[in-house]
Amino acid sequence: MSNHVFELSEVNKRVLQNINLTVNQGGRVMVFGPSGSGKSTLLHLFNRLEDPDSGEIKYQGQPIEDYNIPKLRKDVGLVLQQPYLFSETVIDNLKYGPKMFNEWDEAFVDELLDYVNLPKAYLDKPVEDLSGGEKQRVSLARTLANKPKVLLLDEPTSALDDQNIESIEEDLLKLMDAWQLTIIMVTHNLKQAMRLGTKGIYLESGKIVETGKLPNLIEHPQTDSLKNFTANQ
């Protein structure tokens, strides 16, 4: 059985051109590059927020379009840069996904809160009373409540201060080890990419210019494009 979670062959979508890529089970993939290079579009292809104009995407060896979309998004969870929470309580947000599949497990709540560093007292707290960092933790916990196999992260710490960034990174590292999650993360922070990732993908103008192991890819770029990008970070 293949250990590839995703396989992309000759994928095109708007700015993205001829994307060929494999993501392995348990991979920690960091995607970076200039603004407008197609990073978020690439991320959206993995759980069918967008579909390619041409080319093929396989998830666990099967064409991605063969999967039921709600089930796919349960397996392949997405955490956005700005946390979009429902205007209710923390517990209402956590229950939302699992209740769709009749899988809400009350016993899982403590473990879930522990993973994202939130006290149990927050469960009945209205989301509008939370800080930015707390909202991002709830957003992460809401995605984790579905027990995903793959976690897509679109610059989840870019709007946070240094203390919250460090805390969220610790949460993510803990999760990766405990759940053996496959992570695909868009980041503009190369130091963060090296702290969290094992594989890097450098996108520019919709093309994969370089890919390789981290931190080697960033510390020893092979193309002028990536050399210039790292020099300006």
Residue 156, SS3 per DSSP: coil
Q: In sequence order, what DSSP letters do the residues of 31-54 get, joined into one string?
A: EE-STTSSHHHHHHHTTTSS--SE
Looking at residue 168, its pLDDT comes to 87
pLDDT means over runs of 10, the chain (233 residues): 87 97 96 96 97 98 96 95 88 94 92 91 95 92 94 89 88 88 95 96 98 97 96 88
Residue 93, CB-side half-sphere exposure with 13 Å CA sphere? 28
Nearest-Å Rg of the Cα atoms of the chain is: 18
Query: Tokens 């993939």 identify what position?
Result: 29
What confidence score (pLDDT) does residue 171 get?
87
Domains defined for the chain, CATH in brackets: 4-231 (3.40.50.300)
- CA angle (59, 45, 24) in 5-degree steps: 40
Q: Residue 116: CB partners within 8 Å, gap ≥ 6?
A: 137, 138, 140, 141, 144, 171
